[in-house]
Amino acid sequence: MASVTMKATRVDAAPADRADGENTSPSARRRRRGIGWAARIELIVLIAPALVVFLAFVIFPVAMAAYYGFFSWNGYGPATDFVGLRNYVTIFTDPTFHDALWHNGVIVVLSLVIQGPVALGLALLLNRKMRGQSLIRVLIFIPYVIAEVVVGIGWSLMLQTEGGLNGLLEKVGLGSLASDWLADPKLAIWSLVGILTWKYVGFAVILFLAGLQGIPEELSEAAAIDGASFWQVQRHIVLPLLGPTIRIWAFLSIIGSLQLFDLVYIIWGQYVASTAGTSTMATYMVVNGRNAGSYGYGNAVAVVMFVISLVIALLYQRFVLRRDTEGALTGGKKSR
């Protein structure tokens, strides 16, 4: 530290210079500092391993899927049976896929509509100073940390007709409400949404709490001094400032809902999911791709899923997140 202050005059110019160099003229900066081959080798050593692994195991497989999607292929030997768009035609004319897509849509909407407000309310409550606060924060996050397999097996044991929930309902005299939570097509998707809410609401709460910590307390204090009630402060100051965090959470939730696989596959298995009305695009892909030995078809489903997710992601960024990049500049200045 001492050296920093001592050399203050000399260092003074550096930050501004550096900020420029970062964004506009990297070459100028490199020349000035005399960074040459040594730095390039450093850079390659630093960045190449991550980049290679990422390209080989994330980007390349996605490209592979696009290629194999045009073939009828059992997964062994080279793919030779080129079928053009036939896989895609099959996907879009298959009523089973339509069902799966519909279920995904329902899950997306219900996750947003249920988890969002619940998590927001909880985060606002937990953001107040109270006894046992840190304990509650840990406990609320526990379902998120538990493996999908554990959640799936635990909940399916609780929700089966002879399971814990119906037993509990009988005990408290509500035996008439006992149902077949998992197999009844009218109920199954609601059971799934219930389980999803239980598992993922903690993640939203933690995210919102992290966002709330970034909101300067002075704003709420000032409003409180001016006579605003607790809820007025939340509604008019905290919520708008939390907007970016909420929109990022919604984005993650949508993408997660579109890709949902583990819980459905574990609880309902590959055969029951479609009859119970909980199949998703991902379970459809695994059942009709890998399990059926039709790898070309499975890849085509993966491409469809990817395109749907990508289109939604791009639309979301274009129409929803864009406001944040605009607002972030002004909002950022204000909070600083």
Cβ proximity to other proteins: between 126 and 189 the closer is 126
By CB under 8 A, residue 53 contacts other proteins: yes
- Site residues for other proteins, 270-309, by CB under 8 A, read 282, 285-286, 289-290, 295, 298-299, 302, 305-306, 309
CB 67 within 8 A of CB 73: no
By CB under 8 A, residue 64 contacts other proteins: yes
By CB under 8 A, residue 210 contacts other proteins: yes
**In angstroms, how far is the first alpha carbon of the chain from the final one?**
25
Applying CB under 8 A, the site for other proteins has a residue count of 110
Cβ proximity to other proteins: between 106 and 136 the closer is 136
Q: How far apart are CA 121 and CA 127, in angstroms?
A: 10
- Site residues for other proteins, 66-85, by CB under 8 A, read 68, 75
Cβ proximity to other proteins: between 164 and 185 the closer is 164
Q: How far apart are CA 286 and CA 168, in angstroms?
A: 35
By CB under 8 A, residue 245 contacts other proteins: yes
By CB under 8 A, residue 226 contacts other proteins: no
Cβ proximity to other proteins: between 162 and 326 the closer is 162
Q: Within 13 Å of residue 307, how many CA atoms lie on the same side as its CB?
A: 11
Kindly write down the DSSP assignment for every residue of 160-197, as one continuous string.
STTSHHHHHHHHTT-GGG---TTT-HHHHHHHHHHHHH
By CB under 8 A, residue 173 contacts other proteins: no
CB of 329 to other proteins, least distance (A): 15
Q: How far apart are CA 320 and CA 252, in angstroms?
A: 13
Q: How far apart are CA 263 and CA 267, in angstroms?
A: 6
Q: How far apart are CA 152 and CA 159, in angstroms?
A: 10
- Site residues for other proteins, 14-33, by CB under 8 A, read 14-15, 18, 21-22, 26-27, 29-30
Q: How far apart are CA 185 and CA 273, in angstroms?
A: 10
Part in contact with other proteins (CB under 8 A); list of ranges 80-88, 96-104, 108-116, 142-150: 142-150
DSSP letter (8 states) at residue 269:
H
CB of 163 to other proteins, least distance (A): 5
CB 71 within 8 A of CB 83: yes
Q: Binder to other proteins among 36, 43, 113, 322 (CB under 8 A)? A: 43
- Site residues for other proteins, 177-206, by CB under 8 A, read 198, 202, 206
Token look-up 């390659």 returns 44
CB 306 within 8 A of CB 62: yes
Q: Which two tokens stand for residue 233?
A: 């402060």
Q: Binder to other proteins among 137, 247, 320, 331 (CB under 8 A)? A: 137
Part in contact with other proteins (CB under 8 A); list of ranges 80-88, 89-97, 130-138, 185-193: 130-138
By CB under 8 A, residue 49 contacts other proteins: yes
CB of 102 to other proteins, least distance (A): 18
Q: Binder to other proteins among 109, 113, 139, 315 (CB under 8 A)? A: 139
Token look-up 């605009």 returns 326
CB 100 within 8 A of CB 284: yes
By CB under 8 A, residue 145 contacts other proteins: yes
